[in-house]
Amino acid sequence: MKNLNKLLLVSAILAGAAAPVQAQFNDLLNKAKQKAADRAEKLLEKKSTAGQPAPGTAVGRSKRVRLSGGFDFTPGDTLLFMDNLTTATAGNKALSWKTNGSAQVLSADGVTGKWMRLQPASSYKLTRSVTYPAKYTIEFDLLVAADKVSDLSAVSFGFTKDNAVREFISTGDIWNCQLGYMNNDDFSVSSRATDKHLPGEFDFEPYANRPMHVSVAVNGKNVAVYLDQTKITDTQLFGSEPASHFFISGPWQADHEANILLGNFVVKGFKNQ
């Protein structure tokens, strides 16, 4: 009996000594589990935010890349008409053009050649009619003299059925191309002859105070238009009417003394056609 009591006493002592050890072990195990859970949560957060901007940083809008199919414009080899204003006196009227406004010849600092100012709400046509063959090209330069191109409303050019300039022409009654300077980045090509309206985008902003070359290639009823070697349209714009009279119209509105000028106008045909 005494031996049994001793055994029970020793067992109780051992059990009492083991309790703190077990508690300490459980505490360490719980801490290890928590660290593992925290580590897993951080890994998930890192994966979910990969490639995202850091907090507090601005997200910039990516600039659209300009696509190009190459400059496939070929100018005609036979001169049909040209007016580079070299013989005109600055300040006088451009004699090759008629208008419902004014056609003053000007020079521009830092830019070679002479230029005809396209007055707001005014349209321009050649005083002498040109006989256009089935295939021909038209080229000219446009110069925006302004703090920014958006100070000008749209400028239009194209073809009409007659050579009258009694009033402002916003859209040609055959076809026209409208350059949306005020919006900086849009244009439209419309044809009443073929019932087409083709909008598009072009960045006009870099063309403040430097020339932009315009090229037009006509092959039968098809017309291709290029702005500084970028083709903006290539489609049928003429209907049954033959090519008649080219026109160009200045902006309806010009803010902050902005101006747009025309220069180096040339029409060419092809010998073998």
Does the structure show a pLDDT above 80 at 145? yes
pLDDT in tens, 224-254: 999 999 999 999 999 987 778 999 999 999 9
What does pTM read for this prediction? 0.74
Cβ atoms of 263 and 141 within 8 Å: the answer is: yes
Q: Which domains does the chain have, with CATH numbers?
A: 78-269 (2.60.120.560)
pLDDT in tens, 19-59: 454 555 456 556 655 665 566 555 545 444 444 444 444 44
Between CA 191 and CA 177 the distance in angstroms is 9
pLDDT band at 171 (very low <50, low <70, confident <90, very high): confident
Does the structure show a pLDDT above 50 at 133? yes
Q: What is the mean pLDDT of the chain?
A: 83
Phi, psi (degrees; rounded to nearest 5) at 148:
-155, 150
Cβ atoms of 187 and 120 within 8 Å: the answer is: no
Q: Which residue has the tokens 């009279």?
A: 245
In which element (H, E) is residue 201 found? Answer: strand 196-201
Cβ atoms of 136 and 268 within 8 Å: the answer is: yes
> Two tokens at 118?
């396209």
